[in-house]
């Protein structure tokens, strides 16, 4: 049976990275030491591996960022320090970027939202400002932070300890943007991609320091709170551990993806639901409204697949599905054709005012 990991040679890659991981656990720690790491370990916030990495550096350990052990070379990132006083920068202020910015703004810090489009950037900043009052009391120890819009990339990145890329799901664009982020942001900054369907290993051609880069895939916060963290194949495991601990403070629920996987964890399941729902409607068997109703009644869900696709954006749904189609020959074309028909009319979902549903004037933001 087809398995997407095998199509990318990820099976082999995973075996190699598992070996490298095992070797790295016996290797020396190279990161800087946050003052409270012992307390964090006692509270089980840090993994044993990360705890070891955070022990004080000695002499020659400080000189190197690569640890060679046996046949494997493990790239080590310098973990960012003083993060409470440093901003978080989000690249792309669209459907997801502004939602990620909102969540990152719940711990009192500065959040910067960069977008090449003035309209999207301003709308993103307003979205965060409007959402904070309701969200902050729901987040443990929540404190409203400051949201700032940026049109200059270098200025947006300066000092940031975490940079989250959320530009459109176009691999060439993401490769270029991630390369720029890698060259412009602070040496110890962590860079993540929000890509839904491209593993970050496919997006790092122009990245010189992949050890500090990974996928952090948010769903639809603040309503849908999971965020899945996945290696780019070269990510320092300590970086993932650090974000597992940090993201949990921001009203989202982090999950580690244990191997590279096209579609991460839940998106693979969700892709199958979307595809078959589209196929059912494309074949004239049901309507978006009826399918959503039956789905909600049977599964007890608040929202059905078509309403959710409207919220995601039909162009985004199509881009993701096109990618799966290249990996899994034989997927029904009718599902994509149905999407293309709506997109050709300019009906992209909520963001264009109409998608499968046309009632968004009454309910502009059902999330």
Provide the binding-site residues for ligand NAD, judged by CB under 6 A.
Answer: 91-97, 114-117, 120, 166-169, 177, 194-196, 217-220, 312-313, 316
Q: How far is the CB of 345 from ligand NAD (least distance, A)?
A: 18
Question: Residue 96: is it exposed, middle or buried by C-beta count within 10 angstroms (0-12/13-18/19+)?
Answer: buried
Q: How far is the CB of 224 from ligand NAD (least distance, A)?
A: 9
Beta partners for residue 226, in sequence order: 253
Nearer to ligand NAD, 79 or 343 (CB): 343
Q: How far is the CB of 303 from ligand NAD (least distance, A)?
A: 12
Which token pair is 305?
Answer: 């697949």
Q: How far is the CB of 177 from ligand NAD (least distance, A)?
A: 5
Q: How far is the CB of 312 from ligand NAD (least distance, A)?
A: 3
Adjacency order of strands within the sheet including 162-165:
146-150, 110-114, 88-91, 162-165, 190-193, 213-220, 224-231, 253-256
Nearer to ligand NAD, 17 or 169 (CB): 169
Nearer to ligand NAD, 91 or 244 (CB): 91
Cis peptide preceding 222, ω within 30 of 0:
yes
Q: What is d(CA 350, CA 2) in angstroms, rounded to the nearest whole number?
A: 35
Nearer to ligand NAD, 50 or 214 (CB): 214
Q: What is d(CA 64, CA 274) in angstroms, rounded to the nearest whole number?
A: 47
Nearer to ligand NAD, 20 or 157 (CB): 157
Q: What is d(CA 156, CA 148) in angstroms, rounded to the nearest whole number?
A: 9
Q: How far is the CB of 6 from ligand NAD (least distance, A)?
A: 23
């Amino acid at each position: 049976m087809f398995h997407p990991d095998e199509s990318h040679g990820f099976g082999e890659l995973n075996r190699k990275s598992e070996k490298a991981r095992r070797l790295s656990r016996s290797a020396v720690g190279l990161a800087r030491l946050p003052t409270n790491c012992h307390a964090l370990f006692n509270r089980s916030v840090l993994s044993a591996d990360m705890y070891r990495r955070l022990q004080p550096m000695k002499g020659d350990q400080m000189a190197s960022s690569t640890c060679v052990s046996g046949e494997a070379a493990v790239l080590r990132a310098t973990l960012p320090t003083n993060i409470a006083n440093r901003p978080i920068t989000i690249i792309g202020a669209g459907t997801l970027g502004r939602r990620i910015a909102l969540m990152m703004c719940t711990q009192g810090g500065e959040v910067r939202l960069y977008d090449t489009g003035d309209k999207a950037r301003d709308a993103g900043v307003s979205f965060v400002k409007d959402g904070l009052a309701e969200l902050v009391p729901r987040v443990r120890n929540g404190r409203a932070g400051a949201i700032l819009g940026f049109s200059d990339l270098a200025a947006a990145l300066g000092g940031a300890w975490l940079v989250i890329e959320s530009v459109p799901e176009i691999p060439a664009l993401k490769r270029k943007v991630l390369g720029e982020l890698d060259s412009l942001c602070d040496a110890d900054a962590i860079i993540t991609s929000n890509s839904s369907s491209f593993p970050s290993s496919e997006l790092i051609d122009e990245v010189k320091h992949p050890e500090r880069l990974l996928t952090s895939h948010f769903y639809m916060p603040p309503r849908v709170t999971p965020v899945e963290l996945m290696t780019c194949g070269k990510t320092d495991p300590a970086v993932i551990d650090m974000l597992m601990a940090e993201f949990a403070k921001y009203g989202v629920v982090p999950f580690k993806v244990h191997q590279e996987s096209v579609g991460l964890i839940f998106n693979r399941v969700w892709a199958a639901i979307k595809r078959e729902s589209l196929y059912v409607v494309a074949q004239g068997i049901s309507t978006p409204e009826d399918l959503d109703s039956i789905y909600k009644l049977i599964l007890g869900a608040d929202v059905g697949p078509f309403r959710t696709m409207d919220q995601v954006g039909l162009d985004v749904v199509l881009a993701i599905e096109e990618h799966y189609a290249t990996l899994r020959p034989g997927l029904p074309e009718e599902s994509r054709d149905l999407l293309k028909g709506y997109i050709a009319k300019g009906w992209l979902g909520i963001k264009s005012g109409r998608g499968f549903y046309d009632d968004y004037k009454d309910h502009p933001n059902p999330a």
